[in-house]
Amino acid sequence: MLAVEDPATGQRITAVPDCGPAEVDKAVRAAAGAWPAWHVSDRHAALTSCAVVVEEAAPVLAPVLSEEQGKPLHEAEAEFAEAASRFRYFAGLRPEPRADGGGPVAAITPWNFPVQSAVAKLAPAFAAGNTVVLKPSPRTPLTTLHLGRMLAQVLPPGVLTVLTGRDPLGEYLLAHPGIRQVDFTGSADTGKRMAAAPEWRRLTLELGGNDPAIVLPGTDPAAIAERLFWSAFANCGQLGVAVERVYAVGPGYDGVVEALAAVAARVVVGDGRTPGTQLGPVNNRPRYDRVTGLTDEARADGARIVTGGPLDGPGYFFAPAILAEAHDGMRVVTEEQFGPVLPVVRCSTVDEAVGLANATAPGLCGSVWGADEEYAAEVAARLGSGTVRVNAHLAMPVGSRWSASRAGLRA
């Protein structure tokens, strides 16, 4: 069995099956067996039923998600709401069948948005007529396992199987010859390993990044601090498209740092199930140690911890940290931290900031913040990130920032 941990206490909640090659084989065979009838069926009703299942599951499973992932309850509820709308959106689509057929898809998810990431894979796969073997992260398997069982009740047998277990369960799944496509969200390192695997697979890789944000000279820090802060610290910074590093240009640097630190100091950090909590614990010990290590390393190299850092007590609590006088010689700047720490780099010119932003893996998103939006857009166009925005990063209203962040498809 695989133990599931509560990151707020470090204690074991329960245990789930620790599957291996035999379970993989059984699930993939079931998925292959279900595919011929499933892909020629009208799947509109099934996808709509999935949306209803997700909605009905939310009151029961959102607390479970909050417990195993750490996030505040209202954010766990938001994951379910986004997931339900994803199923409804895809229920309304009629994708053309692929000329090269379809078949069992291996869906592999990370621990930061277990429900949202799972449904972001299931809904399009089902709409396209594929069957799915879903493998959640071993750090957050519980909610996905429960939800998968509930969804399987409104789907033909074999269309969806959830397999929980320790690594290398994902590798067993990928290596199974019955898998036709892999839909993966996780770290760039794992993605690289998958791309290099000897088996031929159609791969969809949604990986990490190191998103930069540039604050232009003359920007009023008070006008942007709250939005910029939450663009970095939503979901405790455990978000693929979070701001990971800020480049503040000109004499306004100190004001930007102070304004971000003021927001950080007001944030309520606590158990996700406690009403009023805005940031829960970091999800797991290795991530907590990494964030602590990167912060310590930066401090030793001259960064100033204006506010935040590890908190005493059980669980993996870490108050949101703002690091002043950070620079591109520090790993906290050049690597994705994926946690509640934000380095702010001092720049003299906009050219310098753009150069530094682009010098390191430029990230999934990038943003430029300033009063003159036309000029900010010109600067944004020089960033190498996949998506660039002005005066926004996640481009979502506060409160649902991350819940729709993956869904360019609804824009």
Based on CB atoms, which residue is closest to ligand NAD, 6 or 347? Answer: 6
Neighbours of 41 (CB within 10 A): 13
- Secondary structure of 366-398 as H, E, C letters: EEEECCCHHHHHHHHCCCCCCEEEECCCCCCCC
Residue 206 is a catalytic residue: yes
- Return the DSSP state at 325: E
Q: How many residues bind ligand NAD (CB under 6 A)?
A: 26
Upper half-sphere CA count for residue 229 (Cβ side, 13 Å) = 25
Give the nearest distance from C-beta 164 to ligand NAD in angstroms: 10
Exposure class string for 62-93: b at 16+ Cβ within 10 A, else e: bbbbbbbbbbbbebbbbbbbbbbbbbbbbbee
| Site track 332-371 with ligand NAD (rule: CB under 6 A), x = hit | ----x-x-------------------------x-------
167 part of the interface to ligand NAD, by CB under 6 A: yes
Q: Which of 108, 125, 147, 326 binds ligand NAD (CB under 6 A)?
A: 108
| Site track 126-165 with ligand NAD (rule: CB under 6 A), x = hit | ---------x-xx---------------------------
- On the question of a cis peptide bond just before residue 141, with omega within 30 degrees of 0, the verdict is no
Contacts of 254 (CB under 8 A, 6+ apart): none
Which residue of the set 68, 75, 79, 206 is catalytic? Answer: 206
CB 67 within 8 A of CB 6: yes
112 part of the interface to ligand NAD, by CB under 6 A: yes
Closest Cα to residue 208, out of 239, 177, 253?
Answer: 239
Q: Which two tokens stand for residue 369?
A: 């913040």
d(CA 305, CA 323): 5
Please choose, out of 11-19, 52-60, 67-75, 168-176, the segment that lies near ligand NAD by the rule CB under 6 A.
168-176
Q: Is 131 helix (H, G, I), strand (E, B) or coil?
A: strand
Upper half-sphere CA count for residue 241 (Cβ side, 13 Å) = 25
Give the nearest distance from C-beta 327 to ligand NAD in angstroms: 23
Give the nearest distance from C-beta 145 to ligand NAD in angstroms: 13
207 part of the interface to ligand NAD, by CB under 6 A: yes
231 part of the interface to ligand NAD, by CB under 6 A: no
Angle between helices 114-127 and 44-69 (to 10 degrees): 160
Give the nearest distance from C-beta 253 to ligand NAD in angstroms: 27
111 part of the interface to ligand NAD, by CB under 6 A: yes
240 part of the interface to ligand NAD, by CB under 6 A: yes
Based on CB atoms, which residue is closest to ligand NAD, 69 or 185? Answer: 185
7 part of the interface to ligand NAD, by CB under 6 A: no
385 part of the interface to ligand NAD, by CB under 6 A: no
Give the nearest distance from C-beta 29 to ligand NAD in angstroms: 19
Please choose, out of 43-51, 54-62, 200-208, 380-388, the segment that lies near ligand NAD by the rule CB under 6 A.
200-208
235 part of the interface to ligand NAD, by CB under 6 A: no
- Return the DSSP state at 130: -
Please choose, out of 47-55, 125-133, 187-195, 355-363, the segment that lies near ligand NAD by the rule CB under 6 A.
187-195
Give the nearest distance from C-beta 261 to ligand NAD in angstroms: 25
Of 272-311, binders to ligand NAD (CB under 6 A) are none
Exposure class string for 283-307: b at 16+ Cβ within 10 A, else e: bbeebbebbbebbeebbeeebebbb
Closest Cα to residue 284, out of 76, 66, 8?
Answer: 8
Give the nearest distance from C-beta 288 to ligand NAD in angstroms: 13
Q: Which of 103, 110, 280, 339 binds ligand NAD (CB under 6 A)?
A: 110
CB 346 within 8 A of CB 325: yes
Of 389-408, binders to ligand NAD (CB under 6 A) are 406
d(CA 345, CA 326): 5
Q: Which of 187, 204, 360, 387 binds ligand NAD (CB under 6 A)?
A: 187
Based on CB atoms, which residue is closest to ligand NAD, 72 or 110? Answer: 110
210 part of the interface to ligand NAD, by CB under 6 A: no
H-run or E-run covering 37:
helix 21-39
Q: Which residues bind ligand NAD (CB under 6 A)?
A: 108-112, 135, 137-138, 167, 170-171, 174, 185-187, 190, 193-194, 206-208, 240, 336, 338, 364, 406
Q: Show which residues are catalytic.
A: 206
